Structure 1
């Protein structure tokens, strides 16, 4: 088993782990989660022997074969298939020894090596490698292409294929889905479910974690906290743990206050000196509990677009491609405010091509393509990270976008994306992929788009930032087209799914579970799930219409929900102000004669705040009740929300 005992780990001067403990048993599949920069990848480096603990013990069975994904891929002329097989060093070594034995006609050695090769699976290694490559999106005709022909993202898939092909007792995967599309993610999920070794997986994809792991190790406040079950189970257990921790923290603060009060009152009295010293020792020995962590540092929302023309984009019989190669044809699609479309389809089917067409990076070869005068496009794609200016700061990028805004207003805005203090002034070049992605998102949101095009927006984003993006997209009023392998995001923010397949883009009559079934069954035609008049579609509920009704309900009740949010904010502010006033009233000096005017002022302010709070609470309750009534009416009319 893998065991971390009182481990302290540092990177440079930064403390990542302090007296951390965790155990991973053989055959377990553990998801390692935590904010970017908390030390997850460093923990992997420790396991691989690339780092050493500052203190504490780390143990792993000496005979275990540890396999991880290489981070660099040389631009070699080896074919993709041969490159993947090269990853099995033991096989290549035995293969070379066999060639040498055959050259010397050493029959005994040849027989021995054939036995060893059979043991390592040499006689089906080509087919296994080809199967893995196919699962990761490589077509049969490109497997013989040289590695140098592939882009960086595809080379990372080759490295992943190498790791999956090799025999391993422990498989370390660090964000393996970042360079994959949804189809490849679904395939990898199934592969990992069948994997019999020990797995440690770093991922920020909730659905992927739910399907692949049976244990979560969370890096929290420089500790390793273990939770049983998948990610869904982790969320429930952590909520309960934080609730108990909050109660324990409050109880301890009361105890500390009581001890300190006794010490302050009686520490100088001879008759109480012994008891006071006892309290001092008791206080010193008390293990300090940390307060429950605050909410996510990321919080932002989309601005209301200046205009919402209808339709935003109209296309009929559009054909698009590269040169003479047609990627998509017969496109018929109208994008209107409120459209929330998720694009599904196999790798290379044309999802990104459609996004580029909508973004204006591609022009139609033929057909009608019309855009409204007030169209404002917000486009996020991974390649845009490369266009950030490395010597500029996040603030400088914002100032270039809006030179009339004050520095403070821009810094306040950037704070919602995690750029606070000096981080807003730091150069972009050394930033992590996640930080750069957050900056591109900040620039995109600031431009107040009414059409949002998102091509794999969650790559490199941690769970907190993904949650913030999810929440922001819920309130976006324009049209949105999303390509993502993050099923949680797709399911949360999309009302309709369109399947890109066989040069066509058609409505997909089903949800993501249906799409997963379609992928795993290898149904090429997609006829069963397209929005056509067949038996299945007539037997199933009209999901598209249901989602349209849900969108209309959200829009109709938006003023109510906004009012509820405002009331909740007002109540929270009032409680904070009341707490400050109560602290003033707890000070005995305020009751002295010279402070009588101040006492009157505080008491009057307290009375006014309590009155205002009571009125706000009543308004909040009334609005909540109205929303509940609206919800019940909707459910009665439409079956379910």
Structure 2
């Protein structure tokens, strides 16, 4: 179990946590949420042992293996699949020990290494790794490509894959969906729900949090506040708590005013002095609780476009690509005010290419791109954050757009995006990714576009900012085209979808759930397309015949193993249930001593039975390995 006791942490003069406690039970999947800069990543660093609390302590089991996503990926010649397999450090260590034992011709050490490798599932690590990487969007061809051949986003996927293969007891994931498409996010959700270790997850994707987490820890006002349930359940619980807290504060204020009025009236009258003093003491005992301070959210709105011509932009049989390479062809789109379109498609299918064509950054290779003279485009993409002038301030960026506007008008506008006071005049360079994204959005909104093109607009935005963006987009009057992996944003801001696939961009008749079904069908089609040749089929038939004979001879041992595995699984579930019951603090009260003892007895017996079943399983596995080796030697002769 992870236990933080009265921790205080200061970073750069700011207090992130103050006298705060936390408990995370084994096997729980915990979402860590809060505003950018509140200390989420610092808490991860403390768990990794990279930071120490200024006061208080963090305890976690000494034998736990901790895995977290590396932020940098060296430009290696090593193949992608080998790089991912490096994530299983124990496998690599045993592999090195085996190589040394073989070099020394040490038979006993070789056998020992093979036993250990078998115990950790090392003999199927390559297909497991390939399957995992396929889930994250890598093709079979990419598995053997060198790491240095991949772009930054794909290298982050490699780092994520390293963590997933690591067999960690504690997994720390910081924004794992930022570089994933919707199809990879669906896969990752499914994988994490089957993960039996402890997971701490930083994410601003509410759908992802809802699907994966069992608990939420919310960092607010320098405290770590725990909630049971997923993100939606946390929001409901927090709203109820805030309402109750505010009500208690208001009642205390009414009582304070009533008592203070009596004191003010009678404190200098000798006959009433004792009563006045008594009421002063009562005032001191009232909850001295400040009014509930909600996290200072950012509330902005899209300005009404000056013109809304119809149509805004039309594509007629357009072809898009780069150089001599065609990405999309026969594109037909007619964008009018009120169009609200989400682009769906697998990674690399051409969604960003289509956005660039609409924005005018790409010229059509064929066909027509017809633009209304009154068209005003607002284009947001991640690469545009790099075009911000690092030496200039938010205010100066806006002044360059509108030289006639007063400074106060521009300051008022920037204040809606969180750039108030000195924040409006400080340079862009030290800004976080979220702050740069806010500024880029502010610059777009100020220019009153009637066609808004958003390519992954929520990267770097926390949940509060994403909610503000959703609310603003719902009121936007122009045409909207969105590419995003944030399903909540898509579900709440667009009315229709366009599927970009197989070199085409066509209307998709369905919602995000239907798109998930389509992705699964595509994956099934991909597998069917990899059918073997006639010779391969003949060889496989011969191999299958030999395998069938071997299965018949090894059947009794395999049945023993299967029986032991089922017993082990049942006992592990039983132990998990007992552990869950033992985590209830009320169980340790005097009234529940009998129940506690009963659970402890059941736990001891289950652990004993589990040890016996694991021993039986290991013996059967060794016998099966020996028999399989004998059969293989017979076949080779």
Contact 2:252 2:287 in 1 (8 A): no
Distance 1:104 1:525 in 2: 48
What is residue 321 of structure 1 aligned with on the other side? Answer: 321
What is residue 8 of structure 2 aligned with on the other side? Answer: 8
What is residue 244 of structure 2 aligned with on the other side? Answer: 244
- Secondary structure (helix, strand or coil) at the match of 2:327 reads strand
Change (3 A) 1:91 1:295: closer
Distance 1:101 1:283 in 2: 78
Distance 2:377 2:188 in 1: 34
Is 1:368 aligned to residue 384 of structure 2? no
For residues 230-264 of structure 1, the C-alpha deviation after alignment (integer angstroms, 9 at most, x for no partner) is 11111111111111111011011122223433443
Deviation at 1:282, TM superposition (A): 4.0
Contact 1:452 1:480 in 2 (8 A): yes
Deviation at 1:295, TM superposition (A): 6.9
Contact 1:297 1:416 in 2 (8 A): no
What is residue 478 of structure 1 aligned with on the other side? Answer: 478
What is residue 509 of structure 2 aligned with on the other side? Answer: 509
What is residue 288 of structure 1 aligned with on the other side? Answer: 288
Please give the TM-score of this superposition, normalised by the length of structure 2. 0.80
For residues 594-637 of structure 1, the C-alpha deviation after alignment (integer angstroms, 9 at most, x for no partner) is xxxxxxxxxxxxxxxxxxxxxxxxxxxxxxxxxxxxxxxxxxxx
Distance 2:333 2:66 in 1: 49
Contact 1:296 1:464 in 2 (8 A): no
Change (3 A) 1:431 1:362: same
- Secondary structure (helix, strand or coil) at the match of 1:522 reads helix
What is residue 41 of structure 1 aligned with on the other side? Answer: 41
Deviation at 1:273, TM superposition (A): 4.2
Paired residues in the alignment total: 526
Is 1:127 aligned to residue 141 of structure 2? no
Distance 1:213 1:268 in 2: 60
- Secondary structure (helix, strand or coil) at the match of 1:457 reads coil
Deviation at 1:467, TM superposition (A): 0.8
Higher mean alpha-carbon deviation, 228-237 vs 489-498, is at: 228-237
Distance 1:521 1:292 in 2: 50
Distance 1:519 1:294 in 2: 40
Deviation at 1:119, TM superposition (A): 2.0
Deviation at 1:377, TM superposition (A): 0.7
Distance 1:517 1:301 in 2: 35
Change (3 A) 1:283 1:50: farther
For residues 378-414 of structure 1, the C-alpha deviation after alignment (integer angstroms, 9 at most, x for no partner) is 0000111111111111111111111111111111111
Q: Structure 1 unaligned runs (5+)?
A: 527-641
What is residue 77 of structure 2 aligned with on the other side? Answer: 77
Change (3 A) 1:27 1:256: same
Is 1:68 aligned to residue 65 of structure 2? no
- Show the 5 A alignment for 1:225-236: 225-236=225-236
Is 1:449 aligned to residue 446 of structure 2? no
For residues 169-188 of structure 1, the C-alpha deviation after alignment (integer angstroms, 9 at most, x for no partner) is 11111111111111111111
Q: Structure 2 unaligned runs (5+)?
A: 527-637
For residues 275-294 of structure 1, the C-alpha deviation after alignment (integer angstroms, 9 at most, x for no partner) is 44444444444442232234
Distance 2:55 2:237 in 1: 29
What is residue 146 of structure 2 aligned with on the other side? Answer: 146
Change (3 A) 1:285 1:13: farther
Distance 1:167 1:18 in 2: 33
- Show the 5 A alignment for 1:229-378: 229-294=229-294, 296-378=296-378
Deviation at 1:40, TM superposition (A): 1.0
Deviation at 1:423, TM superposition (A): 1.3
RMSD: 1.7
What is residue 407 of structure 2 aligned with on the other side? Answer: 407
Deviation at 1:435, TM superposition (A): 0.7
Higher mean alpha-carbon deviation, 56-65 vs 355-364, is at: 56-65
- Secondary structure (helix, strand or coil) at the match of 1:196 reads coil
For residues 105-147 of structure 1, the C-alpha deviation after alignment (integer angstroms, 9 at most, x for no partner) is 0010011011111222221111222222211122221222222
What is residue 600 of structure 2 aligned with on the other side? Answer: none
What is residue 531 of structure 1 aligned with on the other side? Answer: none
For residues 444-482 of structure 1, the C-alpha deviation after alignment (integer angstroms, 9 at most, x for no partner) is 111111111000000110111111111111111111110
